[in-house]
A = this chain, B = another copy of it.
């Protein structure tokens, strides 16, 4: 039996587009003599559909799409993902379902049992967990058909009380098929491969795994669909961060699974992975929002430099517009570095001094500010005037503003709300400052694109004379370690102090993190590359006093 793995990029709620894409793929695979094409979890509606699932009309549209797709399944079968209505009055109204379509109609359904409800996942919000497990039969193959999380409950501290594969395995299936929507983070590819291998070896059944690919706002799906044999080896794999269709041949009598195509090459260092993910994230955000062109404020610092380089790669150099917005506190070298980068990339850039707007605002406020000393109010006015100028250009000429804040700044609130925290999407908001430097080096791996001066000079917001980030923050190598331990690893202050960090520094940093939840609440969606990004995956009270 020839099985096709269809790793596609869907648009949430665009049933016409997703249906057309699925049908076109079924046609292509039919020409390659495939017997079965496997698509990703909730491929018909796109993942994650979120509260669109609460609209009966949305579910009805999904059923209609399923019927249209089923009619194309003649001489070839397809497994697709789509919600299904729960016939029982008790429990949630929907299941998250894998549908086997063949001979023009629905042949079998398998509902998801383990509903991830943590970090960025909200599945129990919508779906009833499945409690009855049966393998499905397709031709002469008995298939244990599961959905994503269903095969992730193998560890010593399992998150769920049930384990679907343990039940399905008792029915002696020939093959496991898992359809997934498993998002990227820089650790995930490795962890996911281990889980897949562990399943194939533990149950001694080959595993076909199909993930979706592409960005859904902040969630980045790397794909990496693959086939694993009973030794735990990868037999076939899709390209990451791109659509791909691959074929394997399964011999149910001997249990053998094989592919004629070479394995896809994978990026394997953390900066390379983050780079690929962010480029895809920017590209898909613009494409799916229906925009082509990005604008950003280019300061000469490392964050906006890396953001511009990534955007130029994602959108093309002719579609990014860099605006230098110097103030009286901007250093000459910052302007030179910014110009050098824009010229290295070949992007359009302009220089607009913020003085006129800044002076106008200060003039209006003079009767109130009088001779009070310059402080954070004036610093923020500068950042906000920049945002007003950038948004005005964006509104006038149809750009989306890219946010250039990094994760370290977002964590401690080192940024101006409605100023440098503006933008349609945050490119580096899940990348710590020290990781931004790694990304810069990766971007410069073949030649100097980002001026070395932007990389080597001490970071500064340049909002007052001689200002350096280190005036208000610990050095980034210390700060980022504390942040990683607190945000990603959920360590307590006492854990951190015990592991050698300065007590006063730890307390100050964690206090800053918790006190700035209100700022992060109003920031753009952040392209997620770590296991714990700010945004929907980290839900903190805004008003709360823990650790403060």
B13 and A544 contacting across the interface, CB-CB below 8 Å: yes
A55-B492, A158-B89, A494-B57 given as contacts; is B543 within 8 A of A285 (CB)?
yes
Least CB distance from A364 to B in Å reads 5
Residues of the B chain whose Cβ atoms lie less than 8 Å from the Cβ of A159: 91-92
Least CB distance from A521 to B in Å reads 6
Q: List 19 A-B contacts (CB under 8 A).
A: A11-B545, A58-B546, A61-B546, A90-B160, A91-B158, A122-B125, A122-B539, A215-B543, A284-B543, A289-B543, A356-B360, A359-B360, A365-B393, A365-B396, A372-B396, A376-B395, A377-B393, A377-B395, A381-B388
A389 at the interface (CB under 8 A from B): yes
Looking at A171-179, A260-268, A346-354, the stretch in contact with chain B turns out to be A346-354
Least CB distance from A386 to B in Å reads 11
A104 at the interface (CB under 8 A from B): no
B418 and A13 contacting across the interface, CB-CB below 8 Å: no
Number of copies: 2
Residue of chain B at shortest CB distance from A163: B90
Residues of the B chain whose Cβ atoms lie less than 8 Å from the Cβ of A91: 158-161
A493–B52 alpha-carbon span in the complex (Å): 13
A273 at the interface (CB under 8 A from B): no
A360–B327 alpha-carbon span in the complex (Å): 14
Residues of the B chain whose Cβ atoms lie less than 8 Å from the Cβ of A50: 539-541
Residues of the B chain whose Cβ atoms lie less than 8 Å from the Cβ of A157: 89, 93
Which residues of A line the B interface, CB within 8 A?
A: 11-14, 17, 46, 48-52, 54-58, 60-61, 88-93, 117-118, 122, 124-125, 128, 156-161, 215-217, 284-285, 288-289, 350, 352-361, 363-365, 368-369, 372, 375-378, 380-381, 384-385, 387-389, 391-393, 395-396, 417-418, 422, 424, 490, 492-495, 518, 521-525, 536, 538-548
Interface centre among A92, A93, A355, A542 (most CB of B within 10 A): A542
A543–B13 alpha-carbon span in the complex (Å): 9
Residues of the B chain whose Cβ atoms lie less than 8 Å from the Cβ of A60: 492
A541 and B125 contacting across the interface, CB-CB below 8 Å: no
Residues of the B chain whose Cβ atoms lie less than 8 Å from the Cβ of A545: 11-14, 17
A372–B395 alpha-carbon span in the complex (Å): 12
A385 and B356 contacting across the interface, CB-CB below 8 Å: no
B377 and A389 contacting across the interface, CB-CB below 8 Å: no
Residues of the B chain whose Cβ atoms lie less than 8 Å from the Cβ of A284: 543
Residues of the B chain whose Cβ atoms lie less than 8 Å from the Cβ of A365: 352, 389, 392-393, 396
Residue of chain B at shortest CB distance from A393: B368
B392 and A380 contacting across the interface, CB-CB below 8 Å: yes
A62–B418 alpha-carbon span in the complex (Å): 37
Residue of chain B at shortest CB distance from A126: B118
A396 and B418 contacting across the interface, CB-CB below 8 Å: no
A13 interface neighbour in B17, B128, B547, Cβ under 8 Å: B547
A378–B217 alpha-carbon span in the complex (Å): 28
A543 interface neighbour in B12, B518, B536, Cβ under 8 Å: B12
A377 and B358 contacting across the interface, CB-CB below 8 Å: no
A309–B81 alpha-carbon span in the complex (Å): 51
Interface centre among A354, A375, A544 (most CB of B within 10 A): A544
A543 and B160 contacting across the interface, CB-CB below 8 Å: no
A490 and B156 contacting across the interface, CB-CB below 8 Å: no
Residues of the B chain whose Cβ atoms lie less than 8 Å from the Cβ of A356: 360-361, 363-364
List 13 additional contacts besides A215-B543, A356-B363; criterion CB under 8 Å: A13-B546, A14-B544, A49-B541, A52-B544, A58-B546, A88-B161, A118-B125, A122-B539, A125-B539, A361-B392, A364-B389, A388-B418, A424-B518
Residues of the B chain whose Cβ atoms lie less than 8 Å from the Cβ of A376: 395
A544 interface neighbour in B11, B54, B355, B361, Cβ under 8 Å: B11
Residue of chain B at shortest CB distance from A538: B51
B544 and A12 contacting across the interface, CB-CB below 8 Å: yes
Residues of the B chain whose Cβ atoms lie less than 8 Å from the Cβ of A49: 541, 544, 546
A159–B354 alpha-carbon span in the complex (Å): 56
Least CB distance from A61 to B in Å reads 8
A539-B122, A543-B289 given as contacts; is B389 within 8 A of A380 (CB)?
no
Residue of chain B at shortest CB distance from A395: B377
Residues of the B chain whose Cβ atoms lie less than 8 Å from the Cβ of A395: 375-377, 380
B372 and A361 contacting across the interface, CB-CB below 8 Å: no
A52 and B540 contacting across the interface, CB-CB below 8 Å: yes
A384–B417 alpha-carbon span in the complex (Å): 13
A54 interface neighbour in B353, B385, B490, Cβ under 8 Å: B490
A492 and B363 contacting across the interface, CB-CB below 8 Å: no
